[in-house]
């Protein structure tokens, strides 16, 4: 009771008039909204709900897109970083096979910095320079496209890897110029110029001056000493010859041979032929390549008697270099060295056969050396792919021709040092085999007549080495080691001989 009184006393009491008004009913009923007003209000509310929904949906889409963009960026950056680390740690790793080092494949192959024993890229180049070197490697080995290099024609598309490599190596060389020389290996910049020159050389005659300029920078970087300089001197001689600078070419080639000798004072022959075999295995390979260049020079400049003498002495020199008793039983680095020298002797044999023919000597002399060249190059290609070694014209149809470079023995491809050498050697051997068999066909056709069965077999062999094998022995066209112009010659000779043979059987 007391509690109710207290609560009742706590309530505010309205004045009498207010209480009367409060109790008084409305004299007029409140206005009710019309149907149109209700519809309008509903539509407005619906629009508001739609706007809110659209805003929330747009915000969610933006949020998802932002998160997706961040994740995509992280994935792209991670892939980019991972690829660079792979090249740094794996693709450019230092050679650890002692047998490979013994035959100096680790220093004579593709080098992207001055220290072959260190691997990777030179830390002195800084992050920008090192990334550029790795990008150049990826452009040439992975054919990675770049927005910085545009291909405007089919030729540009084919040359794109070399152009990209040149672009990135230019960045690396510029980065090297911004750091103190003491931070870099003494030969790093020279090696970068050497690689740049090689890529310019691949672009054709238009870029010979640019290639030569970078080789000259490499020559200065190596101070004109050692086998690295000898390798550059060989290339400078080749470029000078292409530019019809014959005296300069001879000087460079002679310098290359001199630098390969065990002692600088070792005398050379009157035609720059070496008198003794150097102990360095890399020096033996440089000399072998220089002999091929000198041989072509003497033959192509009309000095046929000098060419004959030089080629005969060069073949004797290469035969005097010790070789394994069996290629199949040799170690892979040893076998690659022997095959390299054998391929050079094959080219010299072709040169000598052509010189004999130009001097109108008995055709059998040229046939002898061309047969030797064809068999030697076939042995090189077969040994690189692990196929049995066959020799002689009589075994033409029994000896299968290896296919693409994917058939090269995995042991060669597994080595960063030997893989590029094996690929180039394989292409050279296939091209030389096709050329030797084609020239044999020409000589047999001249010697035995247009319907010569032996000539037809030689032309057929040339086509098989120069073409891509199709189903049941069909030939589809030139392969990666044959130019279109050469393929046209080989194919037309084969078709002519086949037509003459078919006509004789009628």
- Mean pLDDT, rounded, for 382-388: 91
- Tell me what pLDDT residue 267 has: 81
**For 320-385, what is the HEC assignment?**
CCCCCCCCCCCCHHHHHHHHHHHHHHHHHHHHHHHHHHHCCCCHHHHHHHHHHHHHHHHHHHHHHH
- Mean pLDDT, rounded, for 48-67: 58
Q: What does the domain layout of the chain look like in residue ranges?
A: 107-223
Residues facing residue 268 across a β-bridge: 274
Residue 395 reports pLDDT greater than 70: no
Residue 384 in tokens:
């690189």
Q: Mapping DSSP to helix (H, G, I), strand (E, B) and coil, where does residue 468 land?
A: strand
- Tell me what pLDDT residue 399 has: 75
pLDDT per residue over 113-167, tens digit each? Answer: 999 999 899 999 999 999 999 999 999 988 765 544 444 444 555 689 999 999 9
| Entry field: residues in the chain | 506
pLDDT per residue over 191-205, tens digit each? Answer: 999 999 999 999 999
Residue 2 reports pLDDT greater than 60: no
Q: Mapping DSSP to helix (H, G, I), strand (E, B) and coil, where does residue 475 land?
A: strand
- Mean pLDDT, rounded, for 339-357: 98
Share the mean pLDDT of the chain.
85
Of 103, 123, 120, 102, the residue nearest 111 (C-alpha) = 120
Contact 94, 116 (CB under 8 A): yes
Quick one: pLDDT band at residue 390, thresholds 50, 70, 90? Answer: low
Quick one: pLDDT band at residue 471, thresholds 50, 70, 90? Answer: low
- Mean pLDDT, rounded, for 90-106: 94
Residue 299 reports pLDDT greater than 90: yes
Residue 7 reports pLDDT greater than 50: no
Quick one: pLDDT band at residue 27, thresholds 50, 70, 90? Answer: very low
- Mean pLDDT, rounded, for 352-379: 96
* Rounded alpha-carbon distances, angstroms, from residue 72 to 67, 78, 83, 135, 144: 8, 10, 16, 21, 20
Tell me the pTM: 0.83
In this structure, the number of other CB atoms found within 10 A of the CB of residue 14 comes to: 11
Share above pLDDT 70 across residues of the chain, in percent, rounded to a whole number: 78
Share above pLDDT 90 across residues of the chain, in percent, rounded to a whole number: 65
Most confident of 43-57, 251-265, 333-347: 333-347
pLDDT per residue over 238-294, tens digit each? Answer: 999 999 999 999 999 999 999 999 987 778 888 999 989 999 999 999 999 999 999
Task: Determine which of 43-57, 160-174, 303-317, 451-465 has the lowest per-residue pLDDT on average.
Answer: 43-57
Task: Determine which of 52-66, 292-306, 408-422 has the lowest per-residue pLDDT on average.
Answer: 52-66
- Tell me what pLDDT residue 6 has: 44
Q: What share of the chain is helix, strand, coil (3-state, %, to 5)?
A: 70, 0, 30
- Tell me what pLDDT residue 63 has: 60
Place of tokens 């019809």: 244
Residue 371 reports pLDDT greater than 50: yes
- Mean pLDDT, rounded, for 408-427: 94
Residues facing residue 467 across a β-bridge: 478
Residues 400 and 46: their CA atoms lie apart, in Å, by: 81
Residue 13 reports pLDDT greater than 90: no
């Amino acid at each position: 009771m007391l509690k109710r009184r207290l609560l009742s006393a706590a309530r505010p009491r309205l004045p009498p008039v207010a209480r009367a008004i409060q109790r008084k009913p409305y004299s007029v009923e409140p206005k009710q909204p019309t149907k149109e007003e209700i519809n309008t209000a509903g539509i407005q509310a619906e629009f508001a709900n739609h706007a809110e929904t659209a805003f929330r949906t747009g915000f969610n889409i933006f949020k998802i897109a932002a998160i997706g963009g961040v994740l995509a960026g992280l994935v792209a950056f991670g892939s980019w970083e991972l690829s660079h680390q792979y090249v740094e740690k794996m693709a450019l790793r230092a050679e650890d096979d002692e047998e490979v080092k013994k035959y100096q494949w680790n220093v004579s192959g593709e080098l992207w910095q001055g220290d072959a024993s260190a691997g990777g890229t030179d830390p002195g180049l800084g992050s920008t320079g090192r990334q550029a070197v790795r990008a150049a490697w990826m452009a040439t080995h992975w054919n990675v496209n770049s927005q910085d290099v545009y291909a405007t024609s089919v030729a540009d598309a084919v040359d794109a890897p070399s152009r990209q490599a040149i672009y990135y190596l230019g960045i690396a060389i510029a980065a090297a110029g911004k750091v103190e020389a003491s931070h870099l290996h003494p030969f790093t910049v020279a090696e970068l110029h050497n690689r740049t020159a090689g890529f310019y050389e691949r672009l054709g005659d238009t870029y010979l001056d640019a290639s030569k300029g970078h080789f000259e920078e490499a020559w200065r970087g190596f101070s004109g000493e050692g086998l690295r300089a000898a390798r550059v001197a060989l290339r400078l001689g080749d470029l000078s010859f292409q530019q019809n600078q014959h005296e300069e070419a001879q000087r460079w080639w002679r310098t290359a041979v001199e630098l390969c000798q065990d002692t600088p004072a070792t005398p050379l022959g009157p035609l720059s032929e070496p008198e003794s075999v150097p102990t360095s295995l890399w020096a033996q390979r440089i000399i072998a390549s220089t002999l091929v260049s000198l041989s072509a020079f003497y033959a192509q400049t009309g000095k046929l008697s000098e060419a004959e003498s030089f080629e005969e002495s060069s073949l004797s020199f290469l035969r005097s270099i010790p070789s394994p008793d069996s290629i199949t039983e040799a170690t892979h680095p040893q076998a690659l060295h022997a095959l390299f020298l054998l391929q050079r002797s094959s080219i010299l044999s072709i040169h000598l056969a052509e010189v004999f023919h130009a001097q109108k000597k008995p055709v059998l002399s040229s046939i002898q050396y061309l047969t030797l060249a064809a068999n030697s190059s076939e042995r090189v290609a077969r040994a690189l792919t692990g196929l049995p070694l066959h020799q002689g014209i009589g075994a033409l149809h029994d000896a299968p021709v290896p296919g693409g470079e994917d058939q090269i023995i995995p042991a060669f491809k597994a080595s960063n040092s030997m893989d590029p050498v094996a690929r180039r050697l394989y292409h050279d051997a296939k091209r030389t085999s096709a050329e030797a068999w084609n020239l044999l066909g020409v000589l047999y056709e001249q010697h035995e007549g247009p319907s010569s069965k032996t000539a037809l077999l030689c032309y057929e062999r040339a086509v098989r080495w120069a073409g891509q094998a199709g189903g049941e022995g069909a030939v589809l066209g030139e392969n990666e080691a044959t130019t279109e112009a050469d393929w046209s010659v080989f194919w037309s000779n084969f078709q002519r001989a086949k037509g003459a043979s078919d006509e004789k059987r009628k």
